[in-house]
Amino acid sequence: MFKQLPNDQLEMVDILLNGEKIQVPLGTNVAAMTLSQGQRYTRTTSLSGSKRAPFCMMGVCYECLMVIDGIANQRSCVTYVKQGMQIETQQGVGSLPEGAHHE
Ligand code: FES
């Protein structure tokens, strides 16, 4: 569906996407990178569990939420890949940092 254009000038970094180690260009938009890896959604809803995918790609719709470096509810379309980043598909509301709670 999505594919990174070839460019041998790009610096590659190692990241984990749902536990799988992959190499991607530094600074790639996380939502675009996730789609280019063949994953068709970034989160599931908390009520029905339906799969949701990036829509606006500009930080407005919140459909692209993912767990990034252990922090849930990160907008993947306005987050950029860096070395060692750990990115996971978010299930429902995601977990909160220790000590925090859902209201
Ligand atoms: S795709 Fe709309 S906020 Fe990320």
Kindly give the confidence (pLDDT) of every residue in the chain, 103 residues in length, as a single tens digit, with 9 standing for 90 and above.
Answer: 677 788 888 999 999 999 999 999 999 999 999 999 999 999 999 999 999 999 999 999 999 999 999 999 999 999 999 999 999 999 999 876 667 666 6
Q: Are 57 and 79 in contact (CB under 8 A)?
A: no
CA of 68 to the centre of ligand 1 (A): 15
List of domains in the chain: 12-89 (3.10.20.740)
CA of 54 to the centre of ligand 1 (A): 5
For residue 8, what pLDDT is reported?
Answer: 84
Q: How many CB atoms lie within 10 A of CB 37?
A: 15
For residue 102, what pLDDT is reported?
Answer: 61
Q: What is the largest CA-CA distance in the chain?
A: 47
Q: How far is 56 from 72, CA to CA, in rounded Å?
A: 19
Q: Of the residues 58, 66, 80, 87, which should be mutated to test ligand 1's pocket, given the most ligand atoms within 8 Å of the CB?
A: 58
CA of 90 to the centre of ligand 1 (A): 14
Q: How many helices and strands in the chain, by DSSP H and E?
A: 1, 7
Bridge partners for 66 per DSSP: 74, 89
Predicted TM-score (pTM) of this structure: 0.88
